[in-house]
């Protein structure tokens, strides 16, 4: 009898082991564990994803593999200028009045799409992760809404070679899809660049900062307005453009930064070696 009990207990233990969660290997990400930021509070100001139209994107041999196609984490979504999905796995067709971009119901940067719907708008065809495989639900596309009319023709004229340091994961998304403005920063929600590769290190020193991957961008800066060291956190693209400028430059003590509000001003991007 005792032997039978021992056998039974052994079988239960084996069964439990078979259904246990797989052990996760903790790999150090010390070189690319946070997001580029050029704001006073260290949160992400410069961030990714823009449509590929009129963009030349070149990756070096050291370019990382494309980002995971699994569900994007809240940290990554915020770093890419998008909200975490609202109304997760719920039907969105009625609230969004059909498929397509739906920031009010799904969150900024997100859309309402039907899984493999042949009539889906273009943004829905770039989705990697689907919460549900039926009906229409809120998803995060690897694209962004069309640029505002205010961005048409911005930056015509002078161009500069500028730099942005971020994580390998976000860097891969930027190289594949382009830059997109973040939510906040010294000069408000915009796209921030450093003037030299070296200065990106001090600008990614906050604990929340992504680092470990360098992007060189050819940017059409056009008419540049010089601002004080604290810039203006209430600044927007519309305000700047009404002043007759396309780009802001300011120096928050650790080197010049260049700030744009239209991703269409980024002419090309490429990964470059990370040397301090």
- Give me the domains of the chain, ranges plus CATH numbers: 46-68+147-272 (3.90.228.10), 83-139 (no CATH)
Assign 3-state DSSP to the chain and report helix, strand, coil percentages, each to 5: 20, 20, 55
Q: Residue 4: is its pLDDT beyond 80?
A: no
CB 209 within 8 A of CB 47: no
67 pLDDT band, cuts 50/70/90, is very low
Q: What is the pTM of this model?
A: 0.60
Least confident of 162-171, 207-216, 240-249: 207-216
Percent of the chain residues past pLDDT 90, beyond the cut: 37
16 pLDDT band, cuts 50/70/90, is very low
To the nearest whole number, what is the mean pLDDT of the chain? 74
| DSSP per position, 155-177 | T-S-EEEEEEEE-HHHHHHHHHH
Residue 63 to residue 249: CA distance in whole angstroms: 29
Residue 220 to residue 223: CA distance in whole angstroms: 9
For the stretch 175-196, pLDDT in tens is 888 888 877 789 988 899 999 9
In eight-state DSSP terms, residue 243 is: T
The H-or-E segment that residue 237 falls in is helix 237-242
For residue 50, what are its two tokens?
């823009």
CA-closest candidate to residue 80, choices 191, 161, 188, 154: 191
* Cβ neighbours, 10 Å, residue 87: 18
């Amino acid at each position: 009898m005792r032997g039978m009990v021992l056998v039974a207990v052994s079988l239960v233990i084996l069964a439990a082991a078979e259904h246990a969660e797989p052990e996760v290997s903790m790999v150090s990400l010390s070189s690319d564990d946070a997001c580029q930021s050029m704001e006073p509070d260290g949160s992400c100001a410069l961030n990714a994803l823009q449509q590929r139209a009129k963009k030349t994107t070149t990756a070096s041999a050291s370019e990382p593999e494309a980002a995971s196609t699994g569900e994007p984490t809240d940290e990554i979504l915020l770093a890419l200028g998008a909200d975490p999905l609202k109304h997760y796995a719920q039907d969105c067709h009625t609230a969004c009045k059909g498929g397509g971009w739906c920031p009010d119901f799904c969150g900024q940067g997100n859309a309402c799409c039907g899984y493999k719907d042949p009539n889906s708008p273009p943004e829905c065809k770039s989705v990697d992760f689907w919460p549900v495989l039926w009906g229409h639900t809120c998803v995060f596309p690897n694209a962004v809404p069309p640029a505002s009319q205010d961005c048409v023709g911005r930056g015509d004229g002078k161009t500069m070679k500028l730099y942005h340091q971020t994580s390998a994961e976000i860097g891969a998304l930027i190289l594949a899809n382009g830059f997109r403005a973040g939510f906040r920063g010294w000069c408000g929600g915009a796209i921030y660049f450093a003037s030299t590769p070296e200065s990106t290190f001090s600008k990614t020193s906050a604990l929340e900062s992504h680092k470990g991957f360098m992007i060189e961008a050819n940017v059409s800066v056009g008419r540049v307005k010089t601002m004080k060291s604290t810039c203006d956190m209430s600044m927007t693209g519309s305000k700047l453009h009404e002043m007759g400028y396309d780009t802001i430059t300011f120096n928050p003590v650790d080197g010049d930064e260049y700030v744009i509000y239209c991703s269409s001003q980024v002419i090309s991007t490429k990964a470059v070696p990370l040397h301090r």
